[in-house]
A = this chain, B = another copy of it.
Amino acid sequence: MARSVLSHPRDKERLLDELERDVMSTLTELASYGADKAGGVTRLLYTEEWLAAQRALAAKMSGCGLEAEFDEVGNLFGRLQGEDAEAPAILTGSHIDTVVQGGMYDGAYGIAAGLAAVAHLKRNFGRPKRALEVVSLCEEEGSRFPMAYWGSGSIVGKRDFEQIAGLRDARGVAFSDAMTGCGFGESAGRRRSLRSVIGAFVEAHIEQGAVLETEGACIGVVEAIAGQRRLQFEVTGEANHAGTTPMRLRRDALEGASAMMQALRREALRRGDPLVATVGRLQVQPNVPNVVPGKVSFTVDARHVDGQLLARFCEWVKRTFERMADERGLRIEGRTWFREEPVPMDAGLTRQLEEACGDLAVSARRMASGAGHDAQMFAHRCRTAMLFVPSRRGISHSPEEYTEPRELAAGALVLTELLYRIGYGEERLS
């Protein structure tokens, strides 16, 4: 076997052209399912648009010579059989669902890049050593029902039908009714979503941040998906007349909260990347111009790839906020209402991904993913790697989401190379 999909560096631009054309074709087609007038895409799980998009993809997979098959929850697999039918398969892909008024790249890009890569490999190198499968995961965002990672979670056994019992969307439609309405569900007679033989999962995704753009790098090599903690604080002072209460006699809950927000930012900057800490939601009571605020509640969203450092930072936050409240004669209550541990990517596969970038002369940068992805579900079960392409101005979950076609192609090129190396090479995956 040749060392690379490129037999000579001069082939690179031609391959990029091909991949760009294929990726854009799939993305453009997918964007037509659930397109809204504002230029956005809304494709929620088990809706008409969602089903139409999955069916169009299945047709496209078949057109590329892949065996297209849905599982019982609606994940779509496009399989290129390997020489060793027993060998664990290599999966690549991402999710087909979007948020409400999302863009055309989040999720869809990983599917489009995977399909372009596997189709290219099939055309040029024929049957791989072990099966390659492009997967269009049915759901990741949790935008229709209060349940995220339904697609990848079902595959790896982290989600099951019991968990969706009783769940309804905003209109009152039951999760199970929506699912069976699309021809899926426990009794649909399709293959079980929980598959025993997955050797690896590789996900391509837009960054959803501005690090690659800012640093001028093409590819983000994801080392780990950050852990998250979400905390809720309530600061209580005393609501008072804004005219008759001298500054030094105030117990102003908003003044206290603003000092805490400043301290939070300073400390997050001091501890440095990849730690991030955000006050995203804040509410003031009574919230009228001429009354000193008596109560403020706000959230802190903190993320880090190192679970211990994240826990230590959150301890610091609680301790510091309590001290600051105390100094001001304010009361404070804090609680952690959401907690997700960091998920490291597979070290060996990540190194291979990085090497592929180097060999292809595509600029790359190791980084953490601050957002959650399907890759974090697969990582519990098989060797998993993830690559990012740049997001213009870091925008995602918005019709303004955008990545240059050439950047999309570069991501697909790296993916093609990695799939070639692990799909056609001798190395055993598990």
A residues lining the B interface (CB < 8 Å)? 207-211, 214, 226, 228, 230, 238, 240-249, 252, 254-255, 257-259, 261-262, 265, 268-269, 273-284, 287-293, 299, 301, 303, 369-372, 393-397
Taking a contact as CB atoms under 8 Å apart, the answer to whether B280 and A291 are in contact is: yes
Once A246-B274, A292-B278 are accepted as A-B contacts, the answer to whether A261 and B254 lie under 8 Å apart by CB is: yes
Once A393-B238, A395-B240 are accepted as A-B contacts, the answer to whether A279 and B301 lie under 8 Å apart by CB is: no
Taking a contact as CB atoms under 8 Å apart, the answer to whether B371 and A241 are in contact is: yes
CA distance A52 to B32 in the complex (A): 69
CA distance A243 to B367 in the complex (A): 12
| Best-surrounded residue of A273, A274, A276 (most CB of chain B within 10 A) | A276
List of B residues within 8 angstroms of A252 by Cβ: 265, 278
CA distance A259 to B279 in the complex (A): 13
List of B residues within 8 angstroms of A282 by Cβ: 254, 282, 284, 287
CA distance A394 to B242 in the complex (A): 11
Query: 6 closest Cβ contacts across the A-B interface?
Result: A243-B370, A209-B244, A258-B258, A242-B278, A258-B261, A289-B299
Taking a contact as CB atoms under 8 Å apart, the answer to whether A226 and B243 are in contact is: yes
Q: Can you show 10 pairs from A to B with CB atoms below 8 A apart?
A: A208-B244, A211-B244, A214-B249, A242-B301, A242-B303, A255-B262, A255-B265, A282-B282, A282-B284, A282-B287
List of B residues within 8 angstroms of A228 by Cβ: 243
List of B residues within 8 angstroms of A393 by Cβ: 238
